[in-house]
Structure 1
């Protein structure tokens, strides 16, 4: 591993030279035409190959509806021109919310979700033209051990994990969620999917990443019963829930999964990891799961890695500056980017018929389009997705598609402040590029700590 370093590249040539020096597999190309490719997903089609990944704003209302800040964010995302809008984590039960302002779709607030989608699509048409209609996916979640529905930790665990229990507020005598409770929870996912269809979304994602409940179940090696132990049991809940959702909605919705292909968490508590070195991916089981999901009708997957709540958040999101009080990562961010690209490439090659959305692009700043185009052209991914970059530069896709470059003065600088706001209990956005709104929130959160 090379020492950690901040982004300091003025030209594409400088970035290429550093990639060659580190001997990491990151390809860049000048031709950005692949970004304009339309992508067929089920019976739907995206207008291009760029995506906004699900990034929580932590700004919903008490009953889980989108607030004006939520509307503002998605109008900006939609007007920015991406072909796929992956709407953020939306709880299927109130006790599964990660914070008191996490979205939670239910019958009472369904009109607000309809309006959110309608306004987003109108913003896209107004900005990009009448024939531009992004694919819209709603992410459904249960936050599991990271549940804080009223601002205090109320963890729901699949099993005890000595690395995560303490920080999550799990007591030694806390009982894991039972098999019967998990079966009841499947019905809540079905209800949420039906509401998403009624609201007009094109598809739903059963969030299975970053050690939230469904992700944790995939690594339930130490759990007893039908949802733990051997591989078939650990993937059972996700596959059963997918099947129940498909039976309820038929072919009307795209079925998607955002998956941590490897979570960089020590075995036997980790998923997709080498048993000796958890930072080394072992994708045999994730590939097997992807195949089973494809057989059950999942046609879209966003690949991530790591656990941002554990000791290597850079595995999930390479950065220049860590959270306040956190350690500097032990590797260069380009090595972290290369790991995300490699994991995604292996998953895409394993199931070419599934549209895979990649991550890890934001750290590359104004050069992210060159990496995205190379990966799409090389069939290492179907669509390129950005998270933090969309907070900072919501019109990134429009600029790449119409101008052929990104403005270096508008890009995300990987400073972790958008994450720091969330950790401090505030509403999330870009402190640097959207400072009038979010800098006061950031300062208030820091003062409270």
Structure 2
């Protein structure tokens, strides 16, 4: 008996969503991004790549995503979180980069300083200038390891209240790295330039950032571009965004991305409650962003990319009050029925 062919929900394919884009010489086959999402069920045992990581990242690539940003990896040794703090991490990361790229997607790695954020005890003002610059150097060394592992680039995690985000927003140091905006953005600007110099012009440097102050949000984007950054991944900062225009039909994060898109000359990624290919297509058609990141959609249906481009409805997230996937993907009600 032949299985029923899934019904198309659109009369034509999503032409904007399926359009390739070239970034730093890397041909990304479409505008669909898998954003960095950690599977907390795998945060046990060690901080290295596990077979399960290879399985589900490969599934995203086979499922049609163009760009895959691997979940945040710590630039310092951190238990129970993927890490890239020394060369012993390279073999596992290399297998992950190969699995993604041979399946047709372009792989990046998101980098964060889990040590500073995780402690919750150290304010940016408490770090000496030498220690601040030393921690910046940890990101640089981690980026070089990612390049050696075969990744097309990295993403600096400067959003969601993590270390680089705190430097950008909540930083009242009295030296040249704190206080006024021009000083708060200095470390990020230097880091981008140093990574590009060390890893070469074909190595993608993306920055995930956000800021409830729209003026600083837009200015951060311009600084990233001037420093040599290649990709702007707009999310939230240390706090959520305020009101957005009543006639804007998408998430506040997508509204923030649309503001960045108006001034940027490099590609902009947006994220925020995108569930269908039609929504993603509309965002691109209206030039709110250049690429669309779909998180929960991929968690529920690894074939989201192929289905969205073909105009087929993917398996939809049930929007549980507490996302079971982040606790243990096996407990996700959607994954249970697949």
TM-score, normalised by the number of residues in structure 2: 0.87
Cα distance, 1:80–1:416 mapped onto 2, change above 3 Å: farther
| Counterpart pick for 1:181 among 106, 125, 131 | 131
Aligned 8 A contact 1:63 1:104 in 2: no
Using CA pairs below 8 Å that are at least 6 residues apart, which structure has the higher relative contact order?
2
Structure 2 CA distance for aligned equivalents of residues 120 and 61 of structure 1:
23
Distance 1:79 1:250 in 2: 28
The structure 2 residue matched to 1:155, chosen from 89, 114, 120, is 120
Query: What are the within-5 Å matches in structure 2 for residues 28-427 of structure 1?
Result: 32-58=14-40, 59-60=42-43, 62-94=45-77, 97=78, 100-105=79-84, 106-122=86-102, 124=103, 133-143=104-114, 146-147=117-118, 154-155=119-120, 157-159=122-124, 176-260=126-210, 262=211, 272-273=212-213, 283-307=214-238, 337-351=250-264, 353-362=265-274, 365=275, 368-402=276-310, 404-407=311-314, 410-418=315-323, 422=326, 426-427=327-328
**C-alpha distance in 1 between matches for 2:336 and 2:115:** 32
Gaps of 5+ in 1: 1-11, 13-27, 125-132, 148-153, 160-174, 263-271, 274-282, 317-329, 438-449
Q: State how far apart, in whole Å, the 2-side matches of 1:376 and 1:157 are.
A: 41
Q: What is the rounded CA distance, in whole Å, between the counterparts of 2:13 and 2:202 in structure 1?
A: 36
2-structure distance, mates of 1:38, 1:179: 43
Question: d(CA) in 2 for partners of 1:206 and 1:92?
Answer: 11
Structure 1 residue 210, shift from structure 2 partner: 0.1
1:431 aligns with 2:332: yes
Distance 1:373 1:208, change over 3 A: same
Give 3-state SS (helix, strand or coil) of 2:108's partner. strand
How far 1:338 moved relative to its partner? Answer: 3.5
Partner SS for 1:223: coil
Q: Would you say the 8 A contact 1:91–1:141 is kept in 2?
A: yes
Deviation (angstroms), 1:335: 7.5
Tell me by how many angstroms 1:306 deviates: 4.9
Unpaired stretches in structure 2, ≥5 consecutive residues: 1-8
| In structure 1, distance between residues paired with 2:284 and 2:318 | 24
What is the RMSD computed on CA atoms of the aligned residues? 2.9
TM-score (norm 1): 0.67
State how many pairs are aligned.
327
